[in-house]
Amino acid sequence: MKLLNIFNTFYDEEIVEKLGFLKNIKLFEGIKKRQLIHVLESLQERTYLKGETIFTQGDIGRALFIVFSGKIALSRQDAAVQKSDVIAEVNPGEFFGEMALLEEMPRTATATAAEDTKVFMLFKIKLDSLLFSRPAIGVTIAAQLAKILSARLRALLEKPGAQD
């Protein structure tokens, strides 16, 4: 019986830790902490080893990735010179691949684990399910996604040399 209590305490602590982490993710801003359990239930957890490819440029996107621990390198292949350049690093608390939640189109970069990394994945089908089963949560995520994408587009357009 004592072993079961230790397991339950560990399990509860792990869930509390994950909920605390999700509470600080911009994508989930505006979702009450008690509602985050539904978000957590919709996420798939996965660990990638250093050097492991998460997805390749050109793959069809079906999920957004939230880095829980570790680091991800995003790179783009330049076909003209047969060279791949790292364009961004994604650290714990940050996410990437969000365009996949809107449309299942080819990925614009390759994602590789720069070190052993644990991620949470939110698949488009799970977001769609949340929109129907928990509309307040789904709509909040969709609205946050729109704000984030708008801010990223604005930042890109404001870079020197960018055209409107």
The pLDDT tens digits of the residues spanning 44-102 come to 999 999 999 999 999 999 999 999 999 999 999 876 667 778 889 999 999 999 988 88
Query: Where does the pLDDT of residue 3 fall: very low under 50, low under 70, confident under 90, or very high at 90 and above?
Result: very low
Q: For helices 124-133 and 135-158, what crossing angle results, to 10°?
A: 130
Extract the tokens encoding 32. Answer: 């009450």
Name the β-bridge partners of 120: 45, 66
- pTM of the complete model: 0.86
Name the DSSP letter for residue 80. T
Would you state the pLDDT for residue 7?
41
Would you state the pLDDT for residue 4?
44
Would you state the pLDDT for residue 22?
96
The pLDDT tens digits of the residues spanning 90-149 come to 999 999 999 888 888 899 999 999 999 999 999 999 999 999 999 999 999 999 999 999
Q: Strands, DSSP E only, in the chain?
A: 44-48, 53-55, 63-69, 72-78, 83-90, 95-96, 110-113, 117-123
Q: 42: closest CA among 64, 71, 11, 10?
A: 64
Extract the tokens encoding 159. Answer: 């870079």
d(CA 46, CA 14): 15
**In the chain, where are the structural domains located?**
2-156
Would you state the pLDDT for residue 103?
85
**Domain 2-156 is found in CATH 2.40.50.140:** no
